[in-house]
């Protein structure tokens, strides 16, 4: 078996039948990282020795016939904004370059309980703010399919790590598309669960009403297994809903009969790249061939999404990031004149350009005299967008949509034009505003051989059906089998 | 709400946000934030008079946990990341008599 691109399911089967050991899997990942990470820049840090020790312990327990967790022996990469005791959690920011949290995030506890192997920490846009991973204070991440291109963001490191075969599974966070867009750009599966499905305890907060942790994998089943491992109630996040954990992997291969797939007229607008449009249209044909009914629907307020989102998210960010004051943890300026000056210099030195931009935008939108015109207005539009989705899901089971308006853009292409970068989130941020789940699955390639994703959205708490709908598409297509570096002759094959 | 976003506006917001910005940053943010604020004016075209604001995606109210004592971080753990500490407290510059 080629371990480096094997699915989580194949690896677990190999571990079960004794043909693989967790140590062998981790060694393969480490070899791949040693060979590729300098070029791709997916990982910020890898603790190989520790990962091998975790793997060896699990192998010993397996050999002794002890009961093991559902991800036993599988390596998982962790986005650098998730806290794990004693390990650096930098959020790719100078502000937190030396921060070692004294506790585990809920999802880290869950991964440990599932006997997963924590492999290393992945690069991201600073504090998850960005759509290209170029806002990392530490390093660039490159798209494994073409190193001139962005892997997307903000979870670009996790997506690139899975796409380049460095790890079968990874965690990311999605506030406006930060799992789905990099998954699309890197040709892997990435899912944002329903808001409240996964505890945010131990996720460094960006925009608390929008943030959600979710899985990356090289196939839909891997994403389902990882979601099942991390979902479930946690009283330490008061917004984490009290529902039983998901069991998405169990019936994943059962196709949905009578599936109604919505296609949104407002999505096919100027600015949608022809290759992306064609991939989505082809995907709709795949669903028709599978017996699904494709129904035209409308999300009449979708054109207001970017504006509403880029008021709500920065407002919450400006409030959340007020905690970085150089007192309790993180960077503190070396020179200052008084306490206020210490705060200002600490923050001026510690934050990068995009984080400052969003703090400024949010502070302005919340400031006296502008609160009603900006923040409150945006919250009202958020309601309209939420209601649009509710009306749509009265008609259809899932919505099929583009993930990003274009195939992966070039590194440097949008970084000096913040508004253009924000507009690239147009198809993903609605799910965060509405709180609904969304998944990106490989759905083809551009004429330049770059991956294109298909986004499926479902009503709140419909993850099981959403993943089954995604699995139907994956089974009917060959897209996920192509890997970076393969012959481009496969690009047109469905 | 349309108006130019000036360098002075940027400086005022930066002061509210406790962010020290360089001269170049003040100029850059004035034009970038101005463009973004122009863009969000699209929201003004919507009548939202009778729309309830939505601060959260999931309607949850009064989420309580049992009032039971739990463990908290030790002093050593809590202070481990402090930029300045005497082993008992977080240390900050004097706050009385100036600011």
Tell me the ipTM for this assembly: 0.94
The verdict on a CB contact (< 8 Å) between A359 and B17 is yes
Nearest to A446 by CA among A141, A220, A146: A146
Best to test chain B binding among A88, A305, A307, A311 (most B CBs inside 10 Å): A307
The verdict on a CB contact (< 8 Å) between A386 and B73 is no
Task: Decide if A129 contacts A123 (C-beta within 8 A).
Answer: no
Q: What would the mean pLDDT of A381-386 be, rounded to a whole number? A: 98
Helices (H) and strands (E) in chain B, counts: 3, 0
Specify the pLDDT at position B58: 84
Q: Catalytic site residues of A?
A: 79, 154, 178
Q: What would the mean pLDDT of A318-344 be, rounded to a whole number? A: 97
The verdict on a CB contact (< 8 Å) between A345 and B60 is no
Q: How far is B22 from chain A (nearest CA, A)?
A: 9
Nearest to A378 by CA among A329, A316, A336: A316
Best to test chain B binding among A380, A429, A437, A438 (most B CBs inside 10 Å): A380
Alpha carbons A445 and A442: distance in angstroms, whole number: 9
At residue A280, does pLDDT exceed 90? yes
Alpha carbons A397 and A189: distance in angstroms, whole number: 20
Of A239, A344, A357, the CB nearest to B18: A344
At residue A441, does pLDDT exceed 60? yes
Specify the pLDDT at position A460: 97
DSSP designation for B42: G
Cis (ω within 30 of 0) for the bond into B57?
A: no
With left for phi above 0 and alpha for psi between -120 and 50, is residue B71 left, alpha or beta? Answer: beta
Alpha carbons A21 and A115: distance in angstroms, whole number: 14
Which residues lie closer than 8 Å to A434 by C-beta, 6 or more apart? A382, A385, A386, A388, A389, A390, B57
Neighbours of A15 (CB within 10 A): 21
Q: What would the mean pLDDT of A268-292 be, rounded to a whole number? A: 96
At residue A395, does pLDDT exceed 90? yes
Q: What would the mean pLDDT of A201-221 be, rounded to a whole number? A: 98
Alpha carbons A444 and A277: distance in angstroms, whole number: 11
Residue A62: how many CA atoms within 13 Å on its side-chain side? 24
Is B78's Cβ below 8 Å from some Cβ in A? yes
The band of A245, judged by pLDDT with boundaries at 50, 70 and 90, is: confident
Specify the pLDDT at position B1: 46
pLDDT digits (tens, 9 = 90+) for B8-22: 999 999 999 999 999
Q: How far is A181 from chain B (nearest CA, A)?
A: 21
Mean pLDDT (chain A, rounded): 96
Task: Decide if A197 contacts A461 (C-beta within 8 A).
Answer: yes
- Sign of torsion over alpha carbons A455, A458, A462, A465: negative
At residue A488, does pLDDT exceed 80? no
Q: What would the mean pLDDT of A86-108 be, rounded to a whole number? A: 98
- Sign of torsion over alpha carbons A474, A476, A481, A485: negative
Element (H, E) at B59: none
Best to test chain A binding among B10, B18, B76, B97 (most A CBs inside 10 Å): B18
Is B83's Cβ below 8 Å from some Cβ in A? yes
Task: Decide if A357 contacts B32 (C-beta within 8 A).
Answer: yes
Q: What would the mean pLDDT of A313-319 be, rounded to a whole number? A: 98
DSSP designation for A294: E
Q: What would the mean pLDDT of A280-304 be, rounded to a whole number? A: 98
Specify the pLDDT at position A158: 98
Alpha carbons A379 and B88: distance in angstroms, whole number: 43
Is A420's Cβ below 8 Å from some Cβ in B? no
The verdict on a CB contact (< 8 Å) between B92 and A238 is no
Q: What would the mean pLDDT of B24-48 be, rounded to a whole number? A: 95
Specify the pLDDT at position A490: 47
If DSSP codes are grouped into helix, strand and coil, which group holds residue A169? strand
Specify the pLDDT at position A486: 82
Specify the pLDDT at position B5: 84
The band of A494, judged by pLDDT with boundaries at 50, 70 and 90, is: very low
Q: What would the mean pLDDT of A425-433 be, rounded to a whole number? A: 98
Task: Decide if A100 contacts A86 (C-beta within 8 A).
Answer: yes
Specify the pLDDT at position A250: 94
At residue A491, does pLDDT exceed 70? no
DSSP designation for B90: B
pLDDT digits (tens, 9 = 90+) for A151-181: 999 999 999 999 999 999 999 999 999 999 9
At residue A387, does pLDDT exceed 80? yes
């Amino acid at each position: 078996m080629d371990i480096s691109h094997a699915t989580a399911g194949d690896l677990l089967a190999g571990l079960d039948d004794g043909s693989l050991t967790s140590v062998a899997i981790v060694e393969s990942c480490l070899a791949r990282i040693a060979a590729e990470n300098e070029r791709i820049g997916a990982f910020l840090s890898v603790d190989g020795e520790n990962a091998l020790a975790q793997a060896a312990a699990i192998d010993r327990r397996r050999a002794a016939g002890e009961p093991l967790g559902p991800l036993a022996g599988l390596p998982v990469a962790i986005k650098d904004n998730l806290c794990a005791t004693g390990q650096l959690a930098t959020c790719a920011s100078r502000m937190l370059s030396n921060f070692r949290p004294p506790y585990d995030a809920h999802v880290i506890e869950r991964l440990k309980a599932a006997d997963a192997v924590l492999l290393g920490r992945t690069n991201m846009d600073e504090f998850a703010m960005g759509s290209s991973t170029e806002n990392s204070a530490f390093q660039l991440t490159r798209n494994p399919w073409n190193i001139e291109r962005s892997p997307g963001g903000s979870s670009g490191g996790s997506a690139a790590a899975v796409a380049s075969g460095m790890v079968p599974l990874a965690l990311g966070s999605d506030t406006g598309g930060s799992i789905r867009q990099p998954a699309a750009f890197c040709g892997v599966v990435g899912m944002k669960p329903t808001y409240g499905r996964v505890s945010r305890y131990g996720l460094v907060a960006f925009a608390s009403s929008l943030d959600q942790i979710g899985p990356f994998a090289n196939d839909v089943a891997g994403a389902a297994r990882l979601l099942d491992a991390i979902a479930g109630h946690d009283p330490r996040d008061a917004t984490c809903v009290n529902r039983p954990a998901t069991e998405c992997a169990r019936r994943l291969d059962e196709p949905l009969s009578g599936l109604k797939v919505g296609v949104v007229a407002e999505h096919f607008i100027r600015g949608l790249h022809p290759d992306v449009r064609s991939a989505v249209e082809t995907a709709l044909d795949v669903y028709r061939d599978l017996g699904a009914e494709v129904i035209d629907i409308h999300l009449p307020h979708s054109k207001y999404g970017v504006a509403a989102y880029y008021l709500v998210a920065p407002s919450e960010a400006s409030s959340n990031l007020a905690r970085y004051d150089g007192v309790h943890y993180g960077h503190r300026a070396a020179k200052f004149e008084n306490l206020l000056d210490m705060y200002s210099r600490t923050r001026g030195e510690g934050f990068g350009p995009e984080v400052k931009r969003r703090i400024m935008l949010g502070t302005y939108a919340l400031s006296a005299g502008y609160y009603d015109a900006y923040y409150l207005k945006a919250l009202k539009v958020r309601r309209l967008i939420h209601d649009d989705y509710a009306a749509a899901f009265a008609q259809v089971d899932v919505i099929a949509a583009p993930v990003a308006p274009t195939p992966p853009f070039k590194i440097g292409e949008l970084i000096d034009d913040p508004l253009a970068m924000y507009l690239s989130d147009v198809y993903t941020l609605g799910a965060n505003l509405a709180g609904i789940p969304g998944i990106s699955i490989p759905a083809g390639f551009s004429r330049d051989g770059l991956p294109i994703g298909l986004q499926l959205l479902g009503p709140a708490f419909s993850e099981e059906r959403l993943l089954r709908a995604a699995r139907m598409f994956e089974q009917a297509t060959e897209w996920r089998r192509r890997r970076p570096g393969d012959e481009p002759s496969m690009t047109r094959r469905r | 709400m349309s108006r130019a976003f000036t360098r002075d506006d940027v400086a005022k917001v930066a002061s509210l946000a406790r962010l020290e910005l360089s001269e170049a940053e003040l100029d850059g943010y004035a034009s970038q934030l101005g463009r973004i604020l122009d863009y969000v004016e699209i929201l003004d075209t919507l009548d939202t008079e009778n729309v309830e604001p939505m601060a959260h995606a999931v309607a949850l109210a009064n989420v309580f946990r049992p009032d039971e004592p739990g463990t908290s971080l030790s002093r050593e753990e809590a202070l481990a990341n402090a930029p300045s500490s005497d082993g008992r407290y977080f240390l900050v510059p004097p706050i009385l008599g100036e600011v």
